[in-house]
């Protein structure tokens, strides 16, 4: 299911030239947001641009965008069919992600885009996306513990895998809010590669101050500063003025990242909720900081709708976000299209974890595999208190899919 390496993707793409310039983004957290910022700035600057991020949100093809719009299902399925046929004819045995990445790169070539903004799938060094030959800029976002069984048990080991996207002669933007030991690993690897100049957002203190004054959260400031620096390096001849770029990024809502939604289409009554895909310790800590700052200051209790993928460090996630006064329902997301290896954690296990952190059993609920029921229970339990939906990007997908289906039914 997950089998890192570049041999199979290399064979899949041997007849697909890379006719576009790449901005390659790795990291544990923030890389998707950085990709979204970058493609928005490129597109708004009149640069033909495609983006490949994972996982998809609602439909499998929405992980590929062309000039800020998801690629059409027709084009996606046509090219995917060609790639799968190639895999079969040449007996390559590619993984699902390798087939998806090859489909994206084939689409970029066919549609003659100038730039491709590419999010690493897992790690960096041996990730299928690292097959790219023509990189304009690389970016390494915030690094933390996640996917240890594939990448290593320490942040330093994981950082070395992420640093594998660095190329000689290609500038690399590094989020310098990372731990010093992580930065040293990246710096040492850049020296080993040779000729890869590292760039740090904090060197532009005026930019960080502007973004902070604009109301961005600390992690958003870092992500946006990385994206702006990468954009300047990739397109030095384009207008980089903040007066032009800030309005562009302000309009951007990256789904499932501190996204404010109204559950009315799903549950039939107006209910505000915060939707966030925090699914590891580091992202849970960032979410907790946001919730404590904006919600707990005026509310004693938070009502959580939680899910998680099997294998995640659920205990660490709960330690950041849960307080004894909270209400919690746990739910199991369904099968993930195109990602059969992803399995949901048993909701009973999640409930046991929150009880360990002091939540009263009477304030918990096991919603099984019914996401709609989980949202309905949360609405009743919350009353006027805040609702936060978190723990998994696949739960985010389930909620957004329910939202789309409900809105479609209402229009019909």
Distance CA 76, CA 254 (A): 22
Pairing assessment for the beta strands 64-66 and 49-52 based on DSSP bridges: antiparallel
42 backbone φψ class: left, alpha, beta (φ>0; ψ -120 to 50): alpha
Cβ burial of 387 (10 Å; 0-12, 13-18, 19+) is buried
Per-residue pLDDT of the chain (412 residues; tens, 9 = 90+): 678 899 999 999 999 999 999 999 999 999 999 999 999 999 999 999 999 999 999 999 999 999 999 999 999 999 999 999 999 999 999 999 999 999 999 999 999 999 999 999 999 999 999 999 999 999 999 998 887 778 888 999 999 999 999 999 999 999 999 999 999 999 999 999 998 999 999 888 999 999 999 999 999 999 999 999 999 999 999 998 989 999 999 988 889 999 999 999 999 999 999 999 999 999 999 999 999 999 997 877 999 999 999 989 999 999 999 999 999 999 999 899 888 889 999 999 999 999 999 999 999 999 999 999 999 999 999 988 999 999 999 999 999 999 999 988 777 6
Residue 260 in 3-state DSSP?
strand
Q: What is the pTM of this model?
A: 0.93
Evaluate whether 121 touches 94 at the Cβ level (below 8 Å): no
Contacts of 12 (CB under 8 A, 6+ apart): 83, 86, 87, 92, 94, 98, 99, 102
Backbone angles phi, psi at 224, to 5 degrees: -70, -35
Distance CA 218, CA 226 (A): 13
The secondary structure of residue 30, as a DSSP letter, is S
Q: Report the greatest alpha carbon distance in the chain.
A: 61
Distance CA 369, CA 334 (A): 7
Contacts of 400 (CB under 8 A, 6+ apart): 57, 58, 255, 256, 275
Residue 260: per-residue pLDDT: 96
Residue for token digits 């929405």?
62
């Amino acid at each position: 299911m997950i089998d890192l390496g570049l041999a199979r993707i290399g064979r899949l793409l041997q007849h697909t030239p890379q006719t576009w310039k790449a901005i390659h983004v790795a990291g544990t957290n923030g890389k998707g947001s950085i990709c979204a910022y970058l493609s928005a700035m490129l597109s708004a600057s009149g640069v033909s641009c495609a983006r490949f991020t994972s996982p998809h949100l609602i439909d499998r093809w929405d992980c590929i965008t062309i000039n800020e719009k998801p690629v059409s299902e027709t084009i996606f399925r046509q090219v995917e069919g060609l790639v799968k046929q190639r895999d079969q004819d040449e007996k390559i045995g590619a993984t699902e992600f390798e087939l998806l990445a090859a489909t994206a790169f084939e689409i970029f070539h066919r549609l003659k885009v100038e730039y491709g903004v590419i999010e690493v799938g897992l790690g960096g060094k041996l990730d299928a996306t690292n097959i790219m030959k023509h990189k304009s800029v690389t970016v390494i976002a915030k690094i933390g513990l996640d996917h240890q069984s594939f990448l290593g048990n320490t942040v330093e080991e994981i950082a070395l895998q992420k640093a594998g996207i660095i190329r000689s002669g290609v500038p690399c933007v590094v989020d310098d809010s990372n731990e010093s030991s992580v930065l040293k690993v990246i710096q040492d690897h850049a020296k080993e590669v040779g000729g890869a100049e590292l760039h740090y957002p904090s060197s532009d203190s005026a930019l960080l101050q502007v973004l902070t004054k604009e109301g961005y959260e600390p992690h958003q400031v870092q992500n946006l500063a990385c994206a702006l620096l990468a954009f300047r390096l990739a397109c030095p001849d384009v207008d980089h003025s903040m007066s032009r770029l800030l309005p562009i990024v302000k309009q951007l809502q990256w789904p499932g990242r501190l996204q404010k939604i109204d559950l009315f289409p799903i549950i039939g009554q107006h209910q505000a909720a915060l939707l966030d895909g925090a699914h590891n310790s580091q992202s849970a800590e960032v979410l907790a900081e946001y919730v404590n700052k904006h919600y707990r200051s005026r509310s004693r209790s938070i009502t959580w709708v939680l899910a998680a993928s099997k294998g995640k460090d659920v205990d660490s996630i709960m330690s950041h976000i849960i307080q004894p006064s909270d209400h919690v329902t746990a739910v199991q997301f369904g099968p993930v299209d195109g990602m059969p290896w992803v399995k949901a954690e048993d909701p009973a296990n999640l409930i046991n974890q929150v009880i360990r952190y002091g939540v009263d059993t009477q304030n918990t609920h096991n919603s099984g595999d019914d996401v709609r029921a989980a949202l309905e229970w949360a609405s009743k339990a919350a009353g006027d208190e805040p609702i936060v939906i978190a723990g998994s990007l696949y739960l985010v997908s389930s909620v957004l899919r329910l939202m789309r289906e409900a809105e479609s039914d209402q229009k019909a």
